[in-house]
Amino acid sequence: MTMTTFAPICLFTYNRLDETKMTIEALKQNYLASESPLYVFSDGWKKEEDKAKILQIRDYLATVDGFKNMHIINSDKNNGLAESIIKGVSDVLKKHDRVIVLEDDLLTTPNFLDFMNQALAYYEGQSIVQSISGYSLAIKSKPKDGDVYLHRRAYSWGWATWANRWDIRIFDKAKIREEIENDPELLSGFKKTCGNDMDGMLLDSLNGKNDSWYVRWSLDHYKHERLSVYPVYSKVSNIGFSDEGTHCKAVNVFVGELDTSHSRQFTFSPPHQTPQINREVLTYFTYPYKLKFRLKMIKTASGRKELYKDIRYKIQKYSALAKEKFGNKTA
């Protein structure tokens, strides 16, 4: 295993050329880009109509420079997001002791890699910390003792971890089902501690209704009482809420406060949780908050347009689920 000066970056791409270019161009503007290895995993096409798009992305990837070195891993089959990330991160962590992970719809600030690498170094010896998040929700209760806060819930919009905190068995669906059967309080505790959406998301993941690796990763944080580190000011913005988004086509209700300082110096605090910040973070995953957010959108033309797309997406989603469950039966 290689002890790298700066953590390697894993980037996972599918069929969105414009978003992929924007993600990589923003990453190249990072102060540490030229000193960081980059591994790009290009998933294979699920539908024939995506083949041309993916081949265009692979042509573009072959032209990318600006990093310490570049490794492109092209899959000849469609693995889906969860399998791609679980396998890709596992493979990279066989060679390196830590990793930073991005998907193809995340714009990073120039100091993103600085923050991630410094946090990885600071918390490396503190096993209560399982992951680092580059993204942060906007919180009012700013900590007074540093540039970070910690929460039991992990986040998937630009994150990092260490080889000794990652294990492919974390994602074993059969094992998780058995744990739920043996512990009736597991799902309710997970929901209470990590967010109102977590229990449903986990069950959908286990039943193949979503392709989420992330909810199983968050469950592992919860089960072992480990924490994720967040920057007070987000180093990542998500541009994936569009019709082309594979997993994010709904309204983005998760508001972040982007870091505009581009400072490269950060103050980290010993791992602890703050009750007020915990409550603020969990508010984002409640139904009242999501409803209130959408009601505010009605006030603007752009908001109404986004709401229309959101409703259309949900109708299509639930119509597909109903068709899958009931077939062509009619009442």
227 touches 155 (CB < 8 A): no
Helix axes 186-194, 214-223, angle to 10 degrees: 100
The count of C-alpha atoms lying within 13 angstroms of the C-alpha of 310, restricted to the half-sphere facing its C-beta, is 18
106 touches 237 (CB < 8 A): yes
Enter the tokens of residue 256: 């972040």
Q: What is the dihedral of CA 150, 155, 157, 162, to 10 degrees?
A: 80
The DSSP call for residue 45 is: P
**CA 282 to centroid of chain Cα atoms:** 17
> For 183-225, how does the pLDDT look when each residue is reduced to its tens digit (9 = 90+)?
989 999 999 999 999 999 999 999 999 999 999 999 999 999 9
pLDDT at 331 over 80: no
The helix (H) or strand (E) run that includes residue 215 is: helix 214-223
131-135, 175-179, 253-257: which range is least confident on average? Answer: 253-257
More confidently predicted of 2 and 48: 48
Helix axes 173-182, 214-223, angle to 10 degrees: 40
Which pLDDT does position 5 carry in this prediction? 86
The CA distance from 324 to 209, in Å, is: 11
> For 265-313, how does the pLDDT look when each residue is reduced to its tens digit (9 = 90+)?
999 999 999 999 999 999 999 989 888 878 877 878 876 777 767 677 6
Mean pLDDT of 173-192: 97
The helix (H) or strand (E) run that includes residue 202 is: helix 198-206
Which pLDDT does position 245 carry in this prediction? 47
Tokens 């949780």 belong to residue: 273
Residue 223 backbone class (left: φ over 0; alpha: ψ -120 to 50; beta: rest): alpha
pLDDT at 180 over 90: yes
**Which residue type occupies 288?**
P
Name the pTM for this structure.
0.90
Contacts of 270 (CB under 8 A, 6+ apart): 126
Q: Which residues make beta-bridge pairs with 151?
A: 228
pLDDT at 249 over 70: no
